[in-house]
Amino acid sequence: MIQLNNIEKYYANKGVKSYILRHVTTTIKQGEFVSIMGPSGAGKSTLLNIIGMLEEPTYGTYEFLGEDVTTLNERKRIELYRNHIGFVFQAYHLIDEMTVYENIEAPLLYKKIGSSERASRIADLLDRFNIVAKKDLFPNQLSGGQQQLVGIARALAAQPSIILADEPTGNLQSAQADEIMNLFKKLNQEDGITIIQVTHSEKNATYGNRILHIADGVVKDDVKVIV
């Protein structure tokens, strides 16, 4: 599903190149649950952003679903966001002015899905994540864990084939973190959704089935998780 070839990313500052990523080559198949790990500043988030097409690599090629997406115009990229990619952020990034219900509805509106279909999908998600009672609340009225649940529900609303999560539990207490990670695992196993997460925590990484270790912009290790 994802094919990265020799990806490099650097910033040139006064003629000095500071590398973030070097020679990253990897393949991620449909249905995998990949955790990207490494120390701070290793380039984990940059890699995830490149996979999410939020950043462009300075060098190398990137194929998504067999299509070269290394440089993509905005319209095509948004098309991919609408249909294939869901984002989950460490800081949740819910829209403060919208209620829980509206936050989940937003991607469906952009995808121009009919109102009855929309209502049923949202009802389904609210039900599944046990947040029906919270649907008319605003994000700042929810706890962190609840906010992240809404964030994931929003990412799932458009029925993406892949979820990109940047430290999804970084701001959460461990009990809530476990809940979120179990949810991811379930989504991966039962719905077959590809998940790529960036994480600091060894424990969180074990929920997945593959770990990419990154240090100083280079993939040091690519291991399968054996349960």
Partner 1 sequence: MFKLNLKIALRNLWKNKTSSFINVIGLAIGLAACLMLLLYVSYEWNFDKQAKNWKNVYMAMTNVPGEGNKIAGTFNGSTTALGPLLKQNLPEVKYVARMDYGKKSLIANGQNSYKKDSKFAEPDILKMYDYQFISGDPKTALQNPLSVILTESTAKTLFGTVDVLSKSVRYQDKENLTITGVVKDLPENSSNRFDFLMPWSFYEIVDPSAKELNWNNYSFVTMVSLNPDANIDLVNRKVEALVKANTPQTPQSQPHFLYQTSKLHLFGKFENGKPAGGDIEQIWLFMGLAFGILLIACINFMNMATAKSEKRAKEVGIKKTIGANRTSLIFQFLTESMVLTLVAVVMAIALLEICLPAFNGLLNINLGISYFNTASWIGILGIVIATGLIAGSYPAFYLSSFNPIQTLKRNIKSRGILTVSLRQVLVIGQFCFAIILIISTLVIYRQIQYIKNKPVGFDVNALVEIPQDGELKTKFDLFKTEMLKSGAVTSMYQSSVSLSHRGRNFMDMKWDGMTNPQNTVMFNQVATSYDFIKTNGIKLLQGRDFSKNFASDTSAVMVSASAVKVFGYKNPIGKKVIVFGSNAHIVGVFDDYVWDSPYKSNNPQVVYLTTGQTGVITMRLNNSNNLQSNIETINKITKAFNPAYPTEITFINSLYQEKYKSEKTLGILSNLFGGLAIFVSCLGLFGLVAYSAEQRTKEFGVRKVLGASVANLMQLLSLSFIKMIVAAIIVAVPISYFAMGKWLNNFEFHTEISWWIIPVAALGTLSMALITVSFQAYKTAKANPVDALKYE
- Name the residues that contact partner 1, by CB under 8 A: 49, 52, 54-55, 74-75, 78, 81-82, 86-87, 89, 93-98, 102, 105-107, 109-111, 154-155, 158
Positive/negative CA dihedral, 108, 164, 74, 95: positive
Exposure pattern of 98-111 as b/e (b: 16+ CB <10 Å)? ebbbbbbbbbbeee
Which of 7/155 has CB closer to partner 1?
Answer: 155
**Nearest approach, Cβ of residue 67 and partner 1 (Å):** 18
Which of 106/225 has CB closer to partner 1?
Answer: 106
Question: Which residues have a Cβ under 8 Å from the Cβ of 107 and sit 6 or more positions away?
Answer: 82, 154, 157, 158
**Nearest approach, Cβ of residue 227 and partner 1 (Å):** 31
**Nearest approach, Cβ of residue 19 and partner 1 (Å):** 18
Tokens describing residue 25:
């080559």
**Nearest approach, Cβ of residue 143 and partner 1 (Å):** 19
Which of 4/53 has CB closer to partner 1?
Answer: 53
The sheet carrying 85-88 orders its strands as 85-88, 162-166, 194-198, 33-37, 210-215, 218-224
Which of 62/207 has CB closer to partner 1?
Answer: 62
